[in-house]
Structure 1
């Protein structure tokens, strides 16, 4: 199945879709010169979505039993439903945000409409370095993933039912300790209910009602599942410092200070944080970096 899509002017394909993938090597997706390839478990069956440039258009191709669903949501998955109307007027309230909004005006926020795969990734990213989390994510996907339909040679994201039926100690070799594993198992047991959430607010409420899932994990999930531009990752190790430094020249910030500085951009607060990351804005670093660990060796 094929669908032709017309992106907006200056649409930045790569920058828009790369957050859907774990850096360097994602067993469930790939972005390269050939475009985006993404494996997914849709409500009607497994599918692979391939999106490639064709002149001024993008051509989306779906494979597998879930191809029709993949085609219907292809524009949302690559960010073409992201509504940036009104954001330029908010962005000019701060000169740096206004400049970044102009520089990255072609970046759009994806909305995959599939919650559990993103929640799995967010749980694995709790309280560890990105390298540790991504290493664990790849290991979990290779253990529980099965080949996706289509020619892209990808794995489907893990089946929540299979995750839920696995003992927590079986995740230890993947570098995931008991605390994160138990949060993941709880989420997997109610994955069907989570997938039925109609918006970011309902999903956030349901997720944060589960032990081991807080505001940070929920925000990291709904930002890319529902394309929520206002989702702020409260509790992040770096973002409060980045926001405080970028918007107020303060080397360190708290969650409360971050939210105070982001308030003028309400409705797009998460988008502002993403723009700071795209612009390479970071707060000054003091002290040693968090060490890389491997729980599988403990």
Structure 2
């Protein structure tokens, strides 16, 4: 860390209650994520690469309506300027009125659930690609290794071990053997490099409609509907981005709301009445503790691609 940088401080006063830790939780890639840390005092520390440069930021709440941000680094001012979007202050859910009693009760219990947006596409896209078709534990380990190897030290007084994720320029130049050592198969490695090569164009999708943004993402070979949804949830704050194709999601939705498993097509049809808030409905199931998926089979094995 570099503790001598000037701090940029910003405060957001929200109209409705919010919970920063809950809002930013989907951005964390496992407990050891070097770009995300929750301190013992409850503050959230994160790193990012803004167009203006790297940034470390610390978020705290004095009450349910107030978020204070301290940011360090070349991207500090730019991060602070987008703080209201990041913490979900602009998230609109007044038209969300689920009829299912479990969803309705969860919505009542968690009025502070907000869907934030980072406006940083590649930072959401690379981890999503790493998570394609593999166990989350393996994907998180790959992310940690690659960020440690190719990221940069977090600016400012960041907690020990925090790193800034690699830039598009760096991702484009990661050697194939380094992906291999990080347990990333050639297909996912090629997709990451391919996305990094058009990163400037991809970052502009934050100004498009969710539908057009999804189309642009899926025009890249190796980026399908699941990956596009994972990016839209985080970078665009898209409340309707349903992760179709997820290994567990359809079954979880079915067991939680109907007491039986669903496949992807059945889940899409069942959640149609809550459009354009299908992702919000899923998040409510998760944060409320009502997400259910009985274990009838063996745990998905963690595959090691790095040994051969």
Question: Fold match, TM over 0.5?
Answer: yes
Residue 150 of structure 1: how far off its partner (Å)? 1.3
Partner of 2:11: 4
1:188-241, CA deviations, whole angstroms, 9 ceiling, x for partnerless residues?
111111001113333311211111110000000110101000000010111111
Q: Is the Cα contact below 8 Å between 1:169 and 1:178 reproduced in 2? A: no
Distance in 1 (CA, whole Å) between partners of 2:23 and 2:110 is 10
Q: Does residue 13 of structure 1 match 2:20? A: yes
Partner of 2:68: 59
Q: Is the Cα contact below 8 Å between 1:44 and 1:66 reproduced in 2? A: yes
The equivalent position to 2:273 in structure 1, one of 248, 264, 269, is 264
Distance in 1 (CA, whole Å) between partners of 2:24 and 2:280 is 15
Residue 53 of structure 1: how far off its partner (Å)? 2.4
Structure 1, unmatched stretches of 5+, are none
Count residues with an aligned counterpart: 294
Q: Is the Cα contact below 8 Å between 2:274 and 2:281 reproduced in 1? A: yes
Q: Is the Cα contact below 8 Å between 1:243 and 1:261 reproduced in 2? A: no
The equivalent position to 1:125 in structure 2, one of 131, 134, 140, is 131
Residue 9 of structure 1: how far off its partner (Å)? 4.8
The equivalent position to 1:79 in structure 2, one of 66, 85, 88, is 88
Partner of 1:226: 236
The equivalent position to 1:248 in structure 2, one of 255, 258, 261, is 258
Distance in 1 (CA, whole Å) between partners of 2:212 and 2:169 is 22
Distance in 1 (CA, whole Å) between partners of 2:153 and 2:167 is 12
Residue 41 of structure 1: how far off its partner (Å)? 1.0
Partner SS state of residue 79, structure 2: helix
Partner of 1:288: 298
Q: Is the Cα contact below 8 Å between 2:20 and 2:59 reproduced in 1? A: no
Spell out the pairing of 1:179-258 with structure 2 (5 A cutoff).
179-197=187-205, 198-199=207-208, 200-250=210-260, 252-258=261-267
Residue 112 of structure 1: how far off its partner (Å)? 0.2
Deviates more, 1:3-12 or 1:127-136: 3-12
1:55-105, CA deviations, whole angstroms, 9 ceiling, x for partnerless residues?
563211221121111111112112222112111x2x2x1111101111222
Structure 2, unmatched stretches of 5+, are 1-7
Partner SS state of residue 194, structure 2: helix
Distance in 1 (CA, whole Å) between partners of 2:16 and 2:238 is 22
Deviates more, 1:106-115 or 1:167-176: 167-176
Spell out the pairing of 1:41-60 with structure 2 (5 A cutoff).
41-55=49-63, 57-60=66-69
Q: Is the Cα contact below 8 Å between 1:247 and 1:261 reproduced in 2? A: no
Partner SS state of residue 306, structure 2: helix
- After TM superposition, what 4+ stretches of structure 1 lie above 6 angstroms from structure 2? none
Q: Is the Cα contact below 8 Å between 1:7 and 1:57 reproduced in 2? A: yes
Partner of 1:25: 32
1:134-189, CA deviations, whole angstroms, 9 ceiling, x for partnerless residues?
11111111111001221114311111111112232320111111111111111111
Q: Which has the higher contact order (CA 8 A, sep 6+)?
A: 2
Deviates more, 1:268-277 or 1:257-266: 268-277
RMSD, matched Cα: 1.6
Partner SS state of residue 293, structure 1: coil
TM-score after normalising by structure 1: 0.94
Distance in 2 (CA, whole Å) between partners of 1:245 and 1:44 is 45
Q: Is the Cα contact below 8 Å between 2:55 and 2:154 reproduced in 1? A: yes
Q: Is the Cα contact below 8 Å between 1:136 and 1:174 reproduced in 2? A: yes
Partner of 1:151: 157
